[in-house]
Copies of this chain bind each other. A is one copy, B any other.
């Protein structure tokens, strides 16, 4: 059971690259540059960055000399943010009989326990920022 999906993984690599280079260089990056440096599949990464742009993690510039840039400081971008974009909210308490048979998720001993664990996990994932990975 993989916790991180391929697009989350690629997104993190791209963001870390951008954060690293933004310190020395200009801060707009083309997909081609990132693909070359990080050796990721071009069209797939393109779609990933587009999604990050749509979700407000990146800003995109169309046209010649365009590309993508970070909107916020790498210190502000957490793992939780990125996972949420590609894999949705991490939900430890999901119930497969919800509504049908189970009376209430709050009376369920399992979900009650998992809820606490999920909160702890989220707190830890939130502590991992792009900046912390440089």
Tell me which of A2, A114, A124 has the highest count of chain B C-beta atoms within 10 A of its own C-beta.
A2
Total number of A residues with any Cβ neighbor in B under 8 Å: 38
Does A110 touch B at the CB level, under 8 Å? yes
The interface residues of chain B lying within 8 Å CB-to-CB of A120 are: 120, 124
Please give the count of copies of this chain that the complex contains. Answer: 2
Which residues of B are found within 8 Å of A133, using beta-carbon distances? 109-110, 113
A27 located at the interface, meaning its Cβ lies under 8 Å from any Cβ of chain B in the complex: no
Query: How far is B96's CA from A38's CA once the two chains are assembled, in angstroms?
Result: 12
- Residues of B within 8 Å of A87, CB to CB, are 1
Of all chain B residues, the one with the shortest Cβ separation from A39 is B101
Contact residues, A1-17 vs B (CB, 8 A): 1-4, 6, 9-10, 12-13
Partner-B contacts on A (CB < 8 A): 1-4, 6, 9-10, 12-13, 38-39, 83, 87-92, 94-97, 100-101, 109-110, 113-114, 117-118, 120-121, 124-125, 128, 132-134
Write 11 A-B pairs (CB below 8 A) sorted by A numbering: A1-B83, A1-B89, A2-B94, A3-B94, A3-B114, A9-B95, A39-B100, A39-B101, A110-B128, A113-B133, A117-B124
